[in-house]
Homo-oligomer: A and B are copies of this chain.
Amino acid sequence: MDRIIIIGMGLIGGSIGLALRAAKLKNIEVVGVDFDRGVLNQAKKLGAADATETNPTKAVADAALVVVATPILAFPEVFQTIAPHVPEGCVVTDVGSTKGQVLRWAAEHLPARIPFVGGHPMAGREVAGIEGASATLFQGTRYCIVPAPTASKEAVELLVSVASHLGAQPFFADPDEHDVLVAGISHLPLVASAALMATAAGSPAWREMALLASSGFRDTTRLAATDPALTRGIGLTNQAGVLRWIDGLQETLAGFRHLLQEDPEAFLTAMDKARDQRLLWMADRQGLNKQESDLPSASDMMTDLFVGRGVADFLKKQDQRLAEVERKQGTRSGGDSGSR
Protein backbone atom coordinates (compact mmCIF):
# COMPACT_ATOMS: atom_id res chain seq x y z
CA MET A 1 0.00 0.00 0.00
CA ASP A 2 1.49 3.33 -1.12
CA ARG A 3 0.41 6.39 0.82
CA ILE A 4 -0.12 9.81 -0.73
CA ILE A 5 -0.14 12.53 1.93
CA ILE A 6 -1.89 15.80 1.14
CA ILE A 7 -0.95 18.55 3.57
CA GLY A 8 -3.63 21.26 3.52
CA MET A 9 -7.13 20.11 2.56
CA GLY A 10 -8.34 23.31 0.90
CA LEU A 11 -9.77 23.75 -2.59
CA ILE A 12 -6.74 22.27 -4.39
CA GLY A 13 -5.70 19.70 -1.78
CA GLY A 14 -9.29 18.53 -1.42
CA SER A 15 -9.78 18.34 -5.19
CA ILE A 16 -6.59 16.29 -5.60
CA GLY A 17 -7.84 13.91 -2.93
CA LEU A 18 -11.26 13.61 -4.60
CA ALA A 19 -9.76 13.10 -8.06
CA LEU A 20 -7.20 10.50 -6.92
CA ARG A 21 -9.85 8.57 -5.03
CA ALA A 22 -12.23 8.79 -8.01
CA ALA A 23 -9.46 7.27 -10.17
CA LYS A 24 -9.78 4.12 -7.99
CA LEU A 25 -6.03 3.41 -8.05
CA LYS A 26 -5.03 0.06 -6.64
CA ASN A 27 -2.96 -0.09 -3.45
CA ILE A 28 -3.03 3.68 -2.96
CA GLU A 29 -4.21 5.33 0.23
CA VAL A 30 -4.89 9.06 0.30
CA VAL A 31 -4.25 10.70 3.67
CA GLY A 32 -5.54 14.23 4.27
CA VAL A 33 -3.60 16.40 6.72
CA ASP A 34 -4.92 19.67 8.14
CA PHE A 35 -4.65 21.42 11.48
CA ASP A 36 -8.41 22.04 11.32
CA ARG A 37 -10.38 18.99 12.43
CA GLY A 38 -13.58 20.43 10.95
CA VAL A 39 -11.92 20.51 7.53
CA LEU A 40 -10.71 16.93 7.97
CA ASN A 41 -14.19 15.74 8.92
CA GLN A 42 -15.59 17.40 5.85
CA ALA A 43 -12.82 15.92 3.68
CA LYS A 44 -13.73 12.44 4.94
CA LYS A 45 -17.43 13.10 4.40
CA LEU A 46 -16.87 14.31 0.83
CA GLY A 47 -14.58 11.36 0.11
CA ALA A 48 -11.46 13.45 -0.42
CA ALA A 49 -9.33 11.18 1.79
CA ASP A 50 -9.20 7.56 2.94
CA ALA A 51 -7.72 8.63 6.26
CA THR A 52 -7.00 11.92 8.02
CA GLU A 53 -4.32 13.17 10.36
CA THR A 54 -3.63 16.45 12.15
CA ASN A 55 0.05 15.77 12.72
CA PRO A 56 2.10 16.15 9.50
CA THR A 57 5.29 14.58 10.88
CA LYS A 58 3.36 11.45 11.81
CA ALA A 59 1.52 11.40 8.48
CA VAL A 60 4.59 11.60 6.26
CA ALA A 61 6.49 8.85 8.11
CA ASP A 62 5.58 6.10 5.62
CA ALA A 63 4.60 8.24 2.61
CA ALA A 64 5.42 7.57 -1.05
CA LEU A 65 4.38 11.08 -2.08
CA VAL A 66 3.79 14.25 -0.07
CA VAL A 67 1.69 16.97 -1.70
CA VAL A 68 2.10 20.31 0.07
CA ALA A 69 -1.15 22.20 -0.55
CA THR A 70 -1.16 24.80 2.21
CA PRO A 71 -1.03 28.52 1.38
CA ILE A 72 2.33 29.13 -0.31
CA LEU A 73 3.69 31.34 2.47
CA ALA A 74 3.48 28.40 4.88
CA PHE A 75 5.75 26.24 2.70
CA PRO A 76 9.05 27.02 4.48
CA GLU A 77 7.57 25.97 7.80
CA VAL A 78 5.98 22.83 6.33
CA PHE A 79 9.24 21.85 4.60
CA GLN A 80 11.19 22.32 7.85
CA THR A 81 8.62 20.37 9.84
CA ILE A 82 8.47 17.35 7.55
CA ALA A 83 12.14 17.25 6.43
CA PRO A 84 13.44 14.94 9.20
CA HIS A 85 10.46 12.57 8.87
CA VAL A 86 10.15 12.01 5.10
CA PRO A 87 11.26 8.42 4.43
CA GLU A 88 13.85 7.36 1.85
CA GLY A 89 12.44 7.33 -1.68
CA CYS A 90 9.46 9.54 -0.90
CA VAL A 91 8.85 12.40 -3.36
CA VAL A 92 7.72 15.85 -2.21
CA THR A 93 5.67 18.15 -4.44
CA ASP A 94 3.57 21.29 -3.98
CA VAL A 95 0.68 23.08 -5.70
CA GLY A 96 1.84 26.69 -5.24
CA SER A 97 1.06 29.38 -7.82
CA THR A 98 4.69 30.44 -8.19
CA LYS A 99 7.72 28.23 -8.54
CA GLY A 100 10.96 30.24 -8.34
CA GLN A 101 10.63 31.06 -4.65
CA VAL A 102 9.21 27.61 -3.86
CA LEU A 103 12.21 25.86 -5.41
CA ARG A 104 14.55 28.12 -3.44
CA TRP A 105 12.69 27.23 -0.23
CA ALA A 106 12.81 23.53 -1.08
CA ALA A 107 16.57 23.74 -1.73
CA GLU A 108 17.00 25.52 1.59
CA HIS A 109 14.77 23.44 3.84
CA LEU A 110 14.65 19.94 2.35
CA PRO A 111 17.76 17.71 2.38
CA ALA A 112 19.04 16.68 -1.08
CA ARG A 113 18.06 13.06 -0.36
CA ILE A 114 14.38 14.12 -0.74
CA PRO A 115 13.48 14.61 -4.41
CA PHE A 116 11.41 17.76 -4.82
CA VAL A 117 9.28 18.20 -7.94
CA GLY A 118 7.35 21.47 -7.96
CA GLY A 119 3.80 21.33 -9.31
CA HIS A 120 1.16 23.86 -10.27
CA PRO A 121 -2.26 22.69 -11.44
CA MET A 122 -3.71 25.37 -13.74
CA ALA A 123 -7.16 25.26 -12.24
CA GLY A 124 -8.97 27.15 -9.55
CA ARG A 125 -12.20 28.65 -8.37
CA GLU A 126 -12.96 31.73 -6.32
CA VAL A 127 -14.68 29.49 -3.76
CA ALA A 128 -11.86 28.74 -1.34
CA GLY A 129 -11.63 25.76 0.99
CA ILE A 130 -12.76 22.15 0.88
CA GLU A 131 -16.32 23.42 0.15
CA GLY A 132 -15.25 24.25 -3.39
CA ALA A 133 -13.34 21.00 -3.99
CA SER A 134 -14.29 18.90 -7.00
CA ALA A 135 -12.98 15.64 -8.49
CA THR A 136 -13.14 17.15 -11.98
CA LEU A 137 -11.39 20.46 -11.21
CA PHE A 138 -8.27 19.44 -13.17
CA GLN A 139 -10.02 17.72 -16.07
CA GLY A 140 -8.66 19.00 -19.38
CA THR A 141 -6.27 21.48 -17.73
CA ARG A 142 -2.48 21.67 -17.71
CA TYR A 143 -0.39 20.66 -14.75
CA CYS A 144 2.92 22.52 -14.59
CA ILE A 145 5.80 20.32 -13.48
CA VAL A 146 8.88 22.19 -12.33
CA PRO A 147 11.41 19.77 -10.80
CA ALA A 148 14.29 20.83 -8.60
CA PRO A 149 17.57 20.39 -10.52
CA THR A 150 18.42 17.45 -8.28
CA ALA A 151 15.12 15.58 -8.67
CA SER A 152 15.42 12.03 -10.01
CA LYS A 153 13.80 10.69 -13.18
CA GLU A 154 11.58 8.45 -11.10
CA ALA A 155 10.36 11.41 -9.04
CA VAL A 156 9.43 13.35 -12.18
CA GLU A 157 7.69 10.33 -13.66
CA LEU A 158 5.68 9.89 -10.48
CA LEU A 159 4.35 13.45 -10.73
CA VAL A 160 3.56 13.00 -14.43
CA SER A 161 1.53 9.96 -13.48
CA VAL A 162 -0.31 11.86 -10.73
CA ALA A 163 -1.15 14.72 -13.11
CA SER A 164 -2.50 12.24 -15.66
CA HIS A 165 -4.66 10.55 -13.04
CA LEU A 166 -6.10 13.97 -12.18
CA GLY A 167 -7.15 14.30 -15.82
CA ALA A 168 -4.56 17.00 -16.53
CA GLN A 169 -1.80 17.19 -19.11
CA PRO A 170 1.73 17.71 -17.78
CA PHE A 171 3.53 20.87 -18.87
CA PHE A 172 7.26 21.10 -18.17
CA ALA A 173 8.77 24.49 -17.37
CA ASP A 174 11.75 26.13 -15.75
CA PRO A 175 10.83 27.96 -12.54
CA ASP A 176 11.47 31.43 -13.94
CA GLU A 177 9.73 30.66 -17.21
CA HIS A 178 6.77 29.29 -15.25
CA ASP A 179 6.51 32.38 -13.07
CA VAL A 180 6.49 34.80 -15.99
CA LEU A 181 4.01 32.78 -18.08
CA VAL A 182 1.65 32.30 -15.18
CA ALA A 183 1.87 35.95 -14.18
CA GLY A 184 0.51 36.83 -17.63
CA ILE A 185 -2.46 34.47 -17.76
CA SER A 186 -3.31 34.13 -14.10
CA HIS A 187 -1.84 36.81 -11.85
CA LEU A 188 -2.40 39.75 -14.21
CA PRO A 189 -6.09 38.85 -14.71
CA LEU A 190 -6.41 38.79 -10.91
CA VAL A 191 -4.89 42.25 -10.55
CA ALA A 192 -6.85 43.63 -13.52
CA SER A 193 -10.08 42.21 -12.13
CA ALA A 194 -9.44 43.80 -8.74
CA ALA A 195 -8.47 47.09 -10.40
CA LEU A 196 -11.71 47.10 -12.39
CA MET A 197 -13.70 46.45 -9.22
CA ALA A 198 -11.82 49.14 -7.28
CA THR A 199 -12.23 51.66 -10.10
CA ALA A 200 -15.99 51.16 -10.36
CA ALA A 201 -16.61 50.89 -6.61
CA GLY A 202 -14.40 53.92 -5.97
CA SER A 203 -16.69 56.12 -8.05
CA PRO A 204 -19.13 58.51 -6.33
CA ALA A 205 -21.77 56.99 -8.63
CA TRP A 206 -21.08 53.40 -7.51
CA ARG A 207 -24.46 53.10 -5.76
CA GLU A 208 -26.29 53.52 -9.06
CA MET A 209 -23.65 51.62 -11.03
CA ALA A 210 -24.00 48.66 -8.67
CA LEU A 211 -27.67 48.40 -9.62
CA LEU A 212 -26.92 48.46 -13.35
CA ALA A 213 -23.86 46.19 -13.37
CA SER A 214 -24.69 42.92 -15.05
CA SER A 215 -23.16 39.64 -16.25
CA GLY A 216 -20.25 41.32 -18.08
CA PHE A 217 -19.16 43.14 -14.94
CA ARG A 218 -19.76 40.01 -12.88
CA ASP A 219 -17.44 37.88 -15.02
CA THR A 220 -14.65 40.42 -15.41
CA THR A 221 -14.56 41.06 -11.66
CA ARG A 222 -14.95 37.42 -10.60
CA LEU A 223 -11.23 37.03 -9.83
CA ALA A 224 -11.33 40.06 -7.53
CA ALA A 225 -12.97 37.66 -5.04
CA THR A 226 -9.95 35.32 -5.08
CA ASP A 227 -9.00 33.78 -1.73
CA PRO A 228 -6.77 36.36 0.03
CA ALA A 229 -4.24 33.67 0.98
CA LEU A 230 -3.70 32.98 -2.73
CA THR A 231 -3.41 36.67 -3.58
CA ARG A 232 -0.97 37.06 -0.70
CA GLY A 233 1.20 34.22 -1.95
CA ILE A 234 1.26 35.65 -5.46
CA GLY A 235 1.91 39.23 -4.33
CA LEU A 236 4.79 38.22 -2.09
CA THR A 237 6.48 35.56 -4.25
CA ASN A 238 6.00 36.78 -7.83
CA GLN A 239 6.29 40.55 -7.58
CA ALA A 240 8.66 40.88 -10.54
CA GLY A 241 6.42 38.81 -12.83
CA VAL A 242 3.29 40.71 -11.88
CA LEU A 243 4.95 44.13 -12.18
CA ARG A 244 6.17 43.28 -15.65
CA TRP A 245 2.68 42.31 -16.79
CA ILE A 246 0.98 45.32 -15.18
CA ASP A 247 3.35 47.38 -17.29
CA GLY A 248 2.26 45.42 -20.35
CA LEU A 249 -1.43 45.98 -19.61
CA GLN A 250 -0.86 49.67 -18.91
CA GLU A 251 0.86 49.97 -22.26
CA THR A 252 -1.99 48.23 -24.10
CA LEU A 253 -4.58 50.40 -22.36
CA ALA A 254 -2.64 53.56 -23.18
CA GLY A 255 -2.52 52.45 -26.82
CA PHE A 256 -6.27 51.72 -26.86
CA ARG A 257 -6.98 55.07 -25.23
CA HIS A 258 -4.88 56.95 -27.74
CA LEU A 259 -6.60 55.25 -30.66
CA LEU A 260 -10.11 55.75 -29.24
CA GLN A 261 -9.45 59.47 -28.92
CA GLU A 262 -7.51 60.07 -32.14
CA ASP A 263 -8.66 57.38 -34.56
CA PRO A 264 -11.79 55.46 -33.47
CA GLU A 265 -11.67 53.20 -36.55
CA ALA A 266 -8.17 52.06 -35.58
CA PHE A 267 -9.44 51.51 -32.02
CA LEU A 268 -12.18 49.25 -33.40
CA THR A 269 -9.59 47.36 -35.46
CA ALA A 270 -7.59 46.75 -32.28
CA MET A 271 -10.75 45.57 -30.51
CA ASP A 272 -11.53 43.25 -33.44
CA LYS A 273 -8.04 41.80 -33.25
CA ALA A 274 -8.44 41.06 -29.54
CA ARG A 275 -11.79 39.43 -30.36
CA ASP A 276 -10.17 37.20 -32.98
CA GLN A 277 -7.45 36.23 -30.50
CA ARG A 278 -10.09 35.34 -27.90
CA LEU A 279 -12.16 33.28 -30.35
CA LEU A 280 -9.08 31.43 -31.59
CA TRP A 281 -7.94 30.66 -28.07
CA MET A 282 -11.39 29.39 -27.07
CA ALA A 283 -11.63 27.25 -30.22
CA ASP A 284 -8.23 25.67 -29.50
CA ARG A 285 -9.21 25.13 -25.89
CA GLN A 286 -12.56 23.59 -26.73
CA GLY A 287 -10.95 21.43 -29.39
CA LEU A 288 -8.56 20.12 -26.77
CA ASN A 289 -11.28 19.45 -24.20
CA LYS A 290 -13.55 17.90 -26.82
CA GLN A 291 -10.83 15.48 -27.89
CA GLU A 292 -10.33 14.57 -24.28
CA SER A 293 -13.96 14.09 -23.31
CA ASP A 294 -15.38 12.67 -26.53
CA LEU A 295 -12.73 10.09 -27.28
CA PRO A 296 -11.61 8.62 -24.01
CA SER A 297 -9.56 5.78 -25.45
CA ALA A 298 -7.96 7.80 -28.26
CA SER A 299 -7.34 10.57 -25.77
CA ASP A 300 -5.73 8.22 -23.27
CA MET A 301 -3.44 7.10 -26.05
CA MET A 302 -2.63 10.67 -27.01
CA THR A 303 -1.96 11.60 -23.44
CA ASP A 304 0.37 8.64 -23.12
CA LEU A 305 2.18 9.60 -26.29
CA PHE A 306 2.39 13.21 -25.17
CA VAL A 307 3.58 12.24 -21.74
CA GLY A 308 6.07 9.82 -23.17
CA ARG A 309 7.54 12.39 -25.51
CA GLY A 310 7.41 15.15 -22.93
CA VAL A 311 9.08 13.05 -20.29
CA ALA A 312 11.78 11.86 -22.70
CA ASP A 313 12.56 15.42 -23.77
CA PHE A 314 12.48 16.61 -20.24
CA LEU A 315 14.62 13.86 -18.83
CA LYS A 316 17.29 14.56 -21.43
CA LYS A 317 17.45 18.16 -20.28
CA GLN A 318 17.23 17.05 -16.66
CA ASP A 319 20.27 14.80 -17.19
CA GLN A 320 22.21 17.76 -18.53
CA ARG A 321 21.12 19.93 -15.61
CA LEU A 322 21.98 17.22 -13.08
CA ALA A 323 25.41 16.87 -14.66
CA GLU A 324 25.83 20.63 -14.46
CA VAL A 325 24.71 20.78 -10.84
CA GLU A 326 27.07 17.93 -9.93
CA ARG A 327 29.91 19.62 -11.77
CA LYS A 328 29.26 22.88 -9.92
CA GLN A 329 28.95 21.14 -6.55
CA GLY A 330 32.14 19.26 -7.31
CA THR A 331 33.89 22.50 -8.15
CA ARG A 332 32.57 24.33 -5.12
CA SER A 333 32.84 21.80 -2.32
CA GLY A 334 34.72 18.86 -3.72
CA GLY A 335 31.71 16.52 -3.78
CA ASP A 336 29.12 17.67 -1.31
CA SER A 337 26.19 15.30 -1.05
CA GLY A 338 23.63 14.18 1.49
CA SER A 339 22.40 17.54 2.69
CA ARG A 340 22.43 21.16 1.57
Q: Which residues of A contact B (CB under 8 A)?
A: 122-125, 141-142, 144, 171, 173, 177, 180-182, 184-186, 188-203, 205, 208-226, 228, 231-232, 235-236, 239, 242-243, 245-254, 256-257, 260-261, 264, 267-268, 270-275, 277-279, 281-282, 284-285
With contacts A198-B270, A211-B171, A228-B268 taken as known, whether A253 is within 8 angstroms of B260 at the C-beta atoms is no
Q: Are B125 and A281 neighbours in the complex by a CB distance under 8 Å?
A: no
With contacts A243-B260, A252-B198 taken as known, whether A203 is within 8 angstroms of B184 at the C-beta atoms is yes
Cα of A225 to Cα of B271 in the assembled complex, Å: 9
A-B residue pairs in contact (CB < 8 Å), sample of 11:
A141-B214, A171-B212, A181-B212, A184-B199, A189-B216, A194-B274, A219-B219, A221-B281, A228-B275, A231-B268, A242-B260
Distance from A273 Cβ to chain B, minimum over Cβ atoms (Å): 7
Q: Which residues of B contact A218 (CB under 8 A)?
A: 282, 285
Distance from A321 Cβ to chain B, minimum over Cβ atoms (Å): 19
Distance from A229 Cβ to chain B, minimum over Cβ atoms (Å): 10
Q: Which residues of B contact A268 (CB under 8 A)?
A: 228, 231-232, 235-236
Interface centre among A182, A199, A270 (most CB of B within 10 A): A199
Q: Which residues of B contact A200 (CB under 8 A)?
A: 184-185, 188
Q: Are A224 and B142 neighbours in the complex by a CB distance under 8 Å?
A: no
What number of copies of this chain does the assembly contain?
2
Q: Which residues of B contact A242 (CB under 8 A)?
A: 260
Which of B220, B228, B239, B274 touches A260 (beta carbons < 8 Å)?
B239
Cα of A273 to Cα of B232 in the assembled complex, Å: 13
Q: Are A185 and B275 neighbours in the complex by a CB distance under 8 Å?
A: no
Q: Are A220 and B232 neighbours in the complex by a CB distance under 8 Å?
A: no
Cα of A147 to Cα of B185 in the assembled complex, Å: 43
Q: Which residues of B contact A226 (CB under 8 A)?
A: 275
Q: Which residues of B contact A235 (CB under 8 A)?
A: 260, 264, 267-268, 271
Chain B: which residue is nearest A239 at the CB level?
A: B260
